[in-house]
């Protein structure tokens, strides 16, 4: 602990995400925020150009008298994954998931439209994966989509154990900049670096 | 004209877009619709996987008592282009524009965030272009982003003549399926096919 003039106490920021005080939805948002911050870092340093697709919203009514305020709309189903872009000249596409189970990841977390989309990405020669945040142990893994989709297509089980998931993927380094260095994991898994 | 039993008259659908009855906004929407339809065709035939990014909307208030209806929200600025995806293993990124001027395309139609984004796409090794619909002559051109951005960066003029624009790009074939075969133009311009 460092005391600054004026008695202000410097507390080093805890880089670990607080997991107990947040709801499941917030956790999902938190992972999204961390990935977005990492993407800004990659973008600003010309490492990659990866962006989050906005949530599709069907706008029913706009109040133009009030600065084009949307007064009636509803969420539409995303037909793709959340993120895509380009890295090392290759097309990248992935979905981020938070898992708060202690022992297993329910495969029902992966939606049909995400499976279809990622299969098409692979078919087109793109790089497809999941980023899965294991909330309770606060570790984040990059799991290649083909491996997880193959496991799922066997349909023998409704979930995959955390241990199996870890073996299938690679632990993503966390730090300050980028917060979540998932492209380092992409390097190892898809570029043999 | 073909007469069907019951006196119903078969009228072949006019594939040309009607240009006089629609407002500028509708015209923009119409180009979007045609590109989206073409993308569905490319997607379903495993030719490419290209999607439109949803318009980003900042949701302020959701009425959960009424089926998660959004009751307060506003449009956010897009920070990218409208379309991206993968074709022949390459990352594709483009912006669609409608131009209703007779003689020139105002360069103010291209926004700073689109320029920045497309420059980054090129830097990352992606394929970047504009699809420009010349409304009054109902022709649509694919113009490589580097050419148009270079012209614009000279800053000597505020617009480019339609003739210059045509020479810079390539006329896109229109048909039934896909409505706008812009990937054929991509083949010629970026794959030497």
The minimal CB distance from B70 to the residues A49, A70, A90 is found for A70
Q: Does the pLDDT value for residue B156 go beyond 60? A: yes
Check: complex ipTM more than 0.85? no
Q: Do A68 and B49 touch (CB under 8 A)?
A: no
Q: Does the pLDDT value for residue A20 go beyond 70? A: no
pLDDT of the residue at B3: 40
The minimal CB distance from B72 to the residues A71, A90, A124 is found for A71
Res. A14 pLDDT band, cuts 50 70 90: very low
Q: Do B49 and A120 touch (CB under 8 A)?
A: yes
pLDDT of the residue at B25: 52
Question: Between A and B, how many CB-CB pairs are < 8 A?
Answer: 106
Q: Do B120 and A74 touch (CB under 8 A)?
A: no
- Tell me the mean pLDDT in the region A166-189: 96
Beta strands in B108-176 (DSSP E): 127-134, 139-144, 159-161, 170-171
Q: Does the pLDDT value for residue B127 go beyond 90? A: yes
Name the token pair of B81.
Answer: 């282009």
Pairing of strands A83-87, A48-52: antiparallel
> What digits encode the pLDDT tens for the residues B18-58?
444 445 455 567 999 999 999 999 999 999 999 999 999 99
Beta strands in chain A (DSSP E): 2-3, 9-10, 48-52, 57-63, 69-75, 83-87, 90-99, 104-106, 127-134, 139-144, 159-161, 170-171
Q: Which residues contact B188 (CB under 8 A, 6 or more apart)?
A: B170
> What digits encode the pLDDT tens for the residues A112-150?
999 999 999 999 999 999 999 999 999 999 999 999 999
- Tell me the mean pLDDT in the region B58-67: 92
Q: Is the peptide bond before B178 cis (omega within 30 degrees of 0)?
A: yes
Q: Which residues contact A167 (CB under 8 A, 6 or more apart)?
A: none
pLDDT of the residue at B103: 94
Q: Do B70 and A69 touch (CB under 8 A)?
A: no
Picking from A109, A113, A153, A158, the residue whose alpha carbon sits closest to that of residue A133 is A109
Report chain A residues whose CB lies below 8 A from the CB of B128: none
pLDDT of the residue at A18: 43
Q: Does the pLDDT value for residue A168 go beyond 60? A: yes
Q: Does the pLDDT value for residue B5 go beyond 90? A: no
Residue A90: half-sphere exposure toward Cβ, Cα within 13 Å? 15
Burial class (CB in 10 A: 0-12, 13-18, 19+), B102: exposed
**Residues in a beta bridge with A73:** A59, B70
Q: Do A75 and B68 touch (CB under 8 A)?
A: yes
- Can you tell me the distance from the alpha carbon of A186 to that of A127, in angstroms, rounded to the nearest whole number? 9
- Tell me the mean pLDDT in the region A161-173: 96
Portion of chain A with pLDDT greater than 90, in percent = 77
Pairing of strands A139-144, A170-171: antiparallel
Res. A174 pLDDT band, cuts 50 70 90: very high
For A105, A112, A132, the CA distances from A109, given in Å and listed in that order, are 8, 10, 11
pLDDT of the residue at B29: 77
Query: Rounded mean pLDDT of chain B?
Result: 87
pLDDT of the residue at A28: 63
> What digits encode the pLDDT tens for the residues A54-89?
999 999 999 999 889 999 999 998 889 999 999 999
The minimal CB distance from A124 to the residues B48, B74, B123 is found for B48
The C-alpha angle with vertex B50 and arms to B21 and A125, in degrees rounded to 5, equals 165
- Can you tell me the distance from the alpha carbon of B59 to that of A70, in angstroms, rounded to the nearest whole number? 9
Q: Do B43 and A120 touch (CB under 8 A)?
A: yes
Backbone angles phi, psi at A12, to 5 degrees: -60, 135
Q: Does the pLDDT value for residue B96 go beyond 80? A: yes
Helix or strand or coil: residue B100? Answer: coil
DSSP character string of A92-141: EEEEEEEE--SSEEEGGGS-HHHHHHHHHHHHTT-EEEEEEEETTTTEEE
With an 8 Å Cβ cutoff, the interface of chain A facing chain B consists of 43, 46, 48-49, 51, 53-57, 59, 67-76, 79-80, 84-91, 93, 117, 120-121, 123-126
Q: Which residues contact B30 (CB under 8 A, 6 or more apart)?
A: B17, B22
A79 vs chain B: nearest CA distance in angstroms?
A: 9
């Amino acid at each position: 602990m460092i005391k600054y003039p004026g008695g202000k106490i410097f507390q080093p920021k805890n880089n670990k995400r607080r997991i107990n005080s947040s709801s499941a939805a917030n956790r999902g948002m938190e992972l999204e925020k961390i990935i977005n911050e990492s993407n800004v870092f990659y973008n600003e340093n010309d490492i990659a150009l990866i962006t989050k697709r906005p949530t599709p919203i069907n706008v029913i009514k706009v109040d133009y008298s009030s600065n084009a305020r949307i007064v009636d709309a509803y969420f539409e189903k995303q037909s793709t994954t959340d993120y895509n872009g380009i890295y090392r000249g290759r097309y990248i596409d992935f979905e981020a998931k938070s898992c708060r189970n202690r022992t297993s990841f329910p495969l029902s977390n992966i939606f049909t439209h995400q499976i279809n989309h990622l299969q098409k990405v692979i078919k087109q020669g793109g790089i497809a994966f999941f980023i899965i945040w294991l909330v309770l142990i606060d570790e984040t893994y990059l799991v290649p989509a083909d491996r997880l989709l193959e496991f799922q297509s066997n349909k023998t089980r409704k979930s995959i154990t955390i241990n199996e998931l870890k073996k299938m993927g690679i632990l993503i380094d966390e730090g300050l900049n980028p917060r979540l260095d998932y492209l380092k994991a992409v390097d190892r898994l898809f570029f043999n670096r």
